[in-house]
Chains A and B, each alone.
Chain A
């Protein structure tokens, strides 16, 4: 391997990137928009759900329950004296549920159960209201948690995963088209004619894109942590380091695409199907523990699974590099990057 040639390739690529101002902005702006959208769209509590109350219960008890329901931000309460009329209001699709306060103090519910998150939100409010009316508390006390917040928000779970996903996604895109064009317009032939090795071409590109990667990772972490006010109990440098390493692993994957694809359009097409497994299998939206057993090994073969878990451990548990879940993530990413680099260098051949 020749350092001078790697430097030549990196410097050339970087000059091109710097010149393309629009692309440069796009590369930093897009991840920012993605992570903002994720933060706003996912994990919030549904608001302003229309609910009908049919009140036939004991006056004092009903007053407490109604008061509690009306005080909730999630619900908009309408009252109706006739049960079948109330159920019709749900059938019309204008309301999500009928809360029927019975004469014996119990409650019967008639639900539009087409959206689980909405149902859960309504049930939670009704349960709270009943508990308030009963005046008692459950014989269950939750002490200060060992890790995490006493009242955890879904976004706290989600943010580390989304950071992982966005870093992964945009790093792959970065390199996926890096030299598809060069392979076909003769420029790479020229580089090879000088005796350049494929590995030198790959590392040169990685080096040039690292400048952009650092910017991307900073933007993503910055928005997640400060924009959405997600607490980071552990070291933010460690967080930055693992995201950067994931970015490299993803860029290596992109290089494989770049050395295989016949056209830039094909590179895009090859890139797309890789994002879904990363999104669905890495415990980003839903815990990995919920995956069927046969999919577990697949999940742990993805660098994103390790990284999301490590980010969560660093951000919420405050773990450091000495924790297995953290150093394993560094190792997993390094191994993944190495394998991808090897595949790419085997694919990108001088001689055929």
Chain B
């Protein structure tokens, strides 16, 4: 069953067209890796899915009430209040989602350990870029939403933790959470159930990572993407 189905989506800002007839399908309870260079329209696509941007043309079907409490969103910008501590940040977002203090407390302890965060009392403005990004991810995971939209969550995160994050995403997707994750570390998306290779406002390919690599007889996703780009340029 599809959690998100998009057909021929067109959307831009003013005269600039960013999404140029994009179609994608995200299965319920799966991880979807949205790959592509910056400026290709990934963030715009996420904003359409979130309901922040109305489609210019085409169909967008998203399961559930969006925006709403069943969404966890980690924007590409860190998007945290620098003057708050980790605890205050989690309390704020927990309250927005109607969580009780106990629930927030429990998730806080777990997230701090899982994401290797500094102590809860530490002010976000005083953290490193990587730490901030992990807090941003913690905020998205906090209320255990059914749909997770993660825009470049692994930038500046060390490989060991990156692997742990992917493992966690796999676990929760098996429990029914739908995850869309954008990244430009293309090969980390091998763990995704499906990847969409995006370039210049459309998907060049959409399939399981293995199928994409096989279709291009490539050794890695990165190489497959490169082959697809070359073919696109020729055409």
A residues with a Cβ closer than 8 A to B are 2, 4-5, 7-9, 11-12, 15-16, 19-20, 185-187, 189-196, 350-352
Contacts and interface: CB of A to CB of B under 8 A. Distances in A.
Interface core residue of B67, B71, B75 (most chain A CB under 10 Å): B67
B193 to A, nearest CB: 23
Interface in B57-107: 65, 67-69, 71-73, 75-81, 83-84, 88, 92-93, 95-98
Given A186-B79, A187-B81, A193-B67, A11 B96 contact: no
Nearest to B13: A352
Contacts of A185: 77-79
Complex A-B, nearest 7 residue pairs according to Cβ-Cβ distance, in ascending order: A186-B79, A8-B95, A195-B68, A186-B77, A186-B75, A193-B73, A194-B96
18 contacts: A2-B98, A4-B98, A5-B96, A5-B98, A11-B95, A12-B81, A185-B78, A189-B73, A193-B52, A193-B67, A194-B68, A194-B69, A194-B71, A194-B93, A194-B96, A195-B65, A195-B69, A351-B52
A187 B92 CA distance: 12
A142 to B, nearest CB: 60
A195 B71 CA distance: 9
A351 B49 CA distance: 11
Contacts of B149: 193
Contact of A192 (B52, B93, B98): B52
Interface in B37-63: 47, 50-54
A190 B80 CA distance: 9
A350 B67 contact: yes
Interface of B: 47, 50-54, 65, 67-69, 71-73, 75-81, 83-84, 88, 92-93, 95-98, 139, 149
Contact of A5 (B65, B80, B95): B95
Contacts of A15: 83-84, 88
Given A7-B95, A352-B52, A352-B54, A190 B73 contact: yes
Given A4-B98, A192-B67, A20 B73 contact: no
Nearest to A193: B73
Contact of B71 (A8, A20, A193, A350): A193
B73 to A, nearest CB: 4
Given A194-B93, A351-B54, A189 B75 contact: yes
B67 A194 contact: yes
A195 B93 CA distance: 12
Contacts of B52: 189, 192-193, 350-352
B96 A196 contact: yes
A72 B80 CA distance: 66
Contacts, number: 83
Contacts of A9: 92, 96
Given A8-B92, A352-B52, A352-B54, A190 B79 contact: yes
B83 A16 contact: yes
B173 to A, nearest CB: 19
A12 B97 CA distance: 14
Nearest to B80: A187
Given A7-B95, A194-B71, A16 B81 contact: yes
B83 A19 contact: yes
A7 B97 CA distance: 12
A8 B98 CA distance: 9
Contacts of B77: 185-186
A274 to B, nearest CB: 28
A4 B69 CA distance: 13
B139 to A, nearest CB: 7
Contacts of B75: 186, 189-190
Contacts of A19: 83
Interface core residue of A4, A11, A193 (most chain B CB under 10 Å): A193
Given A12-B92, A189-B73, A194-B68, A20 B83 contact: yes
Given A4-B98, A194-B69, A350 B80 contact: no
A8 B81 CA distance: 14
Nearest to B77: A186
Given A15-B84, A16-B84, A192-B67, A186 B54 contact: no
Given A15-B83, A187-B81, 20 more contacts: A4-B95, A4-B96, A8-B95, A8-B96, A11-B92, A12-B84, A186-B75, A186-B78, A186-B79, A189-B47, A190-B75, A190-B93, A194-B97, A195-B67, A196-B67, A350-B51, A350-B67, A351-B52, A351-B53, A352-B52
Contacts of A192: 52, 67
Contacts of B65: 195
Contacts of A193: 50, 52, 67, 71-73, 149
A352 B55 CA distance: 9
Interface core residue of B78, B80, B92 (most chain A CB under 10 Å): B92
A351 B56 CA distance: 12
